[in-house]
Chains A and B, each alone.
Chain A
Amino acid sequence: MTFSNCSDLCKRLAWAGGLSSTPMITYADWGLNLTEGVTPYSRTIYDLHMLILWIVTIIAIVVFGALFYSVATFRKSKGAVAAQWHESTKLEIAWTLIPFLILVGMAVPATKALIMMEDVYGADMTIKITGYQWKWRYEYIDDDVSFFSTITHEANVARQLKSGIDPNTIEHYLHDVDKRVIVPVGKKIRYLTTAADVIHAWWVPALGWKRDAIPGFINESWALIEKPGVYRGQCAELCGKDHGFMPIVVEAVSEEDYEVWVKGMQTAEVVSDESGQEAMAITPIQQQESAEPQT
């Protein structure tokens, strides 16, 4: 069941009809704007983005309005006679100062947002993320859980050159992994990013930021996810042949479910190396998340 040619309205109806929980729904998206995301920071970013977008839109209307008005009015074919003035100190000072003040107006909220972003203190837990060509490794520093996360097998088969498999038949094509990063909601999580070979970048749009994963460096950032759900992203820094094929899936669950998952992972690791398979068995809680917010 595909909605690839469906309009936006049609999609919303599908959502309203609860079809969104049906597996195999893939749809093309005519989304135009940044999404708000699910962390305090991502919302701050969204508001800032909208503020600047409105500022530039208004400037664009004024500037392009003046330009098109001139083009329509001051035409030789309409008998316009060119004036010969070519200077006005007052005007020039005005259009130097006014943009400067607008910039100051933008810089204030931007500075606040940046200070908020860089404040990683008081984190409840830490996840270390290591980029490899071409997979991610997650280490839950406090819980002694670690695993690699790679693209799902069926997407990996379908994405081969001339595979003949229609990507629309694969659920979350290129945006799904074998093992998800399970995190609790409502906790300030500190992410440490680094890399083992070349530079990667860890990016889940719903969290509001991306951070480069650089060999020899450990970068800090944080997120407090407010809403349970599955949030998808992928590597954002060119890292070689399969750069386009190292997705990220973060699943935010309640604290209790998170505890259950951690216990399961810890047991599974003792039992076998195939910890992921065991862990996957516990994730039906994921399947119950009916509404999957935008990836």
Chain B
Amino acid sequence: MSEAATHDGHQDHHPSGIMRWLTTTNHKDIGTMYLVFSLIMFFIGGAMAMVIRAELFQPGLQFVDPQFFNSMTTMHALVMIFGAVMPAWTGFANWLIPMMIGAPDMALPRLNNWSFWILPFAFTLLLCTFFLPGGAPAGGWTMYPPLVLQTGAAFPFLIFAVHFMGASSIAGAINVMATIFNMRAPGMTLMKLPLFVWTWVITGFLLIASIPVLAGAVTMLLTDKFFGTGFFSAAAGGDPVMFQHIFWFFGHPEVYILILPAFGIVSAILPTFARKPLFGYSSMVYASAAIAFLSFIVWAHHMFTVGMPLAGELFFMYATVLIAVPTGVKIFNWLATMWRSSMTFETPMLFALAFIVLFSIGGFSGLMLGVTPVDFQYHDTYFVVAHFHYVLVTGAIYSCFAATYFWLPKWTGHMYDEVLGKWHFWLSTISVNVLFFPQHFLGLAGMPRRIPDYAVQFADFNMVSSIGGFVFGLSQLLFVYVVVKCARGGEKATDQVWEGARGLEWTLTSPPAYHSFSTPPEPSTIEGGMR
């Protein structure tokens, strides 16, 4: 108790100005920094996407040379995956998990500060490569050798940037898991955890298991390049395909690292605005765990065309399509949650509903891609590009939007501008489909991905897609405006904020105190298995 009192006593003595942010160990401050960092990276990666869509607006090369175009696709992916989505999840985890489980802060606050502050250095390293001789990495974010070994001065920067991002992610994951396993309020048993917390437990396992594999793979690239090893060089007795196996052993769990927390967010928002408990809480938990397990045994579906033995192709096909079962369970549970509910359609709900529809479209194309013989046609085409943008943009990013609108009033104490939020939703949702849906057609018609210029029969849909891209890009400025406006002021938010909101974070004031739950909440306020 005395410790808690001391803690409370210090809460107003934290440094102000820049030192507050540099030295903070507070989960809310660090959460904010993660989210702001993620937003900045979203715009940097988005600017690269705009360059890509501008170049692809018409056949012929109008703006950038092919090498720079390849840098754009490579860096767009690295920035969006490691800079925008993954830090966003850690940011939401920081802000929400202590408040959701009734803890005062994260378990390892100094590690928390460090894991965040690695990121700006990692991305400075990565982004400064644009100014190095030979330009930024252009071998694809998948870094396949031998091509990636042709990277110029940027090569070691790429490797160490990836190491830094990985170190940050692992530290973040350890922190989140240590918090969840050790800091739950009395009475907050595992099967009472909100699903966002549950999905983060599973995400944490995936991160800790898969990121070191990536670190190993890129270190082998480094020694191949500079120290004369031949891990991936056929001429030296190595194996270029082995890199792909190692990379995707990381890469496929990574896919679920990017989407599992989104499932948790949707599972929080949907029951709130449906005013009805989440259907099938425990099957949601088991489905998430099943997806995580399967994610470790499906990696080779990213590389069906490398020429695997028939038995390998069959195994990875069966395992891959099997993921549709637990994913289907989630979708059906959400539908059942909505059935005979009493819904209202505030902006977070709109984004959550769009998530269900559009993520499902990405899931359907994923199922198609999982079937090996037809994948021989889809592989490395715009069909794949359409697929992963449906799951990442209208999946992961949409749930980030939904979460921001949902919890922003709690964080800032102000309601956001509902009218502008809805504008942001509708502009984004219409344009994102104009942007990505035609890419299915382009892929089926035979347009490969990662090309700066294309045969003229692909011109029409590329133009449509680019127009969608520009509108989607511009619409995101509206999001920033709404967030900044809400942070600065607005209608006062109540503690519960939403009529149907349940869970410990809604029992705190809006905005919550700098240190929340210095004393554990009453066990009676913990609701079991509802969300």
Contact = CB atoms under 8 A, between A and B. Distances in A.
Given A71-B343, A113-B373, A208-B377, A244 B66 contact: yes
Contact of A215 (B65, B146, B331, B456): B146
A73 to B, nearest CB: 9
A211 B306 CA distance: 6
Contacts of A173: 59, 455-456
Nearest to A170: B456
Interface stretch (A12-20, A22-30, A260-268): A22-30
Interface residues of B, number: 94
B343 A238 contact: no
Interface string A106-132: 110011011101100000000000000
Contact of A236 (B277, B356, B381): B381
B458 interface: yes
B64 A161 contact: yes
Contact of A238 (B70, B336, B339): B70
A106 B371 contact: yes
A201 B333 CA distance: 41
B257 to A, nearest CB: 24
B147 A86 contact: no
Given A45-B376, A82-B275, A86-B276, A238 B147 contact: yes
A280 interface: no
Given A52-B367, A159-B61, A244-B454, A210 B340 contact: no
Contacts of B234: 214-217
A31 B277 contact: no
Interface in B358-395: 360-361, 364, 367-368, 371-374, 376-377, 379-381
Given A84-B276, A86-B281, A243 B450 contact: yes
B457 A49 contact: no
A288 interface: no
A48 B373 contact: yes
B278 to A, nearest CB: 6
Contacts of A52: 367-368, 371, 374
Count chain A CB atoms within 10 A of each CB in B306, B376, B451 and give the residue with the most: B376
A28 B66 contact: no
B529 to A, nearest CB: 8
Contacts of B360: 60, 63-64
A162 B64 CA distance: 9
Contacts of A118: 310, 313
A70 B335 contact: yes
A67 to B, nearest CB: 6
B448 A30 contact: no
Given A28-B457, A66-B335, A159-B61, A210 B371 contact: no
Contacts of A80: 340-343
A168 to B, nearest CB: 6
A174 B239 contact: no
A96 B325 contact: yes
B146 A197 contact: yes
B251 to A, nearest CB: 15
A111 B374 CA distance: 11
Given A86-B276, A118-B310, A209 B457 contact: no
Contact of B373 (A85, A117, A172, A237): A117
A163 B58 CA distance: 13
Contact of B60 (A45, A159, A295): A159
A4 B459 contact: yes
Contacts of A175: 455
Interface stretch (A87-95, A136-144, A178-186): A87-95
Nearest to B277: A86
A235 interface: yes
Contact of B241 (A217, A220, A233, A240): A217
B512 interface: no
Given A70-B343, A75-B343, A241-B67, A45 B373 contact: yes
Please tell me the size bucket of the interface on A: 35 or more
A95 B328 contact: yes
Given A236-B379, A243-B70, A44 B373 contact: yes
A4 B460 CA distance: 8
A232 B342 CA distance: 55
B457 A29 contact: yes
A27 B240 CA distance: 40
A222 interface: no
Interface stretch (B27-35, B37-45, B314-322): B314-322
A136 to B, nearest CB: 15
A92 B322 CA distance: 16
A257 to B, nearest CB: 26
A234 B460 contact: no
Contact of B307 (A87, A113, A215, A217): A217
Nearest to A240: B147
Interface in A144-162: 158-162
Given A28-B457, A173-B456, A198 B278 contact: no
A90 to B, nearest CB: 12
Contacts of B279: 85-88
Interface in B282-330: 283, 303, 305-307, 310, 313-314, 317-318, 321-322, 324-325, 328-329
Contacts of A100: 322, 325
Nearest to A102: B324
A115 B309 CA distance: 11
Contacts of B345: 71
Contacts of B460: 4, 28-30
Given A49-B368, A71-B353, A106-B371, A81 B60 contact: no
19 contacts: A30-B461, A52-B371, A60-B360, A83-B276, A87-B280, A92-B332, A96-B328, A110-B317, A114-B313, A160-B61, A199-B147, A201-B380, A211-B305, A211-B307, A217-B234, A217-B306, A240-B150, A243-B70, A295-B455
For the complex of A and B, the 3 pairs showing the least CB-CB separation, nearest first, are A216-B234, A244-B451, A219-B307
Interface of B: 59-62, 64-67, 70, 138-140, 144, 146-147, 150, 234-235, 239-241, 274-281, 283, 303, 305-307, 310, 313-314, 317-318, 321-322, 324-325, 328-329, 331-333, 335-345, 353, 356-357, 360-361, 364, 367-368, 371-374, 376-377, 379-381, 441, 444-446, 448, 450-461, 530
Interface of A: 4, 26-35, 44-45, 48-49, 52-53, 56, 59-60, 63-64, 66-67, 70-71, 74-77, 80-88, 91-92, 95-96, 99-100, 103, 106-107, 110-111, 113-115, 117-118, 158-163, 165-168, 172-175, 197-199, 201, 203, 205, 208-212, 214-217, 219-220, 232-245, 295
Given A161-B62, A295-B446, 8 more contacts: A45-B376, A66-B335, A67-B356, A74-B274, A82-B342, A83-B341, A117-B373, A209-B305
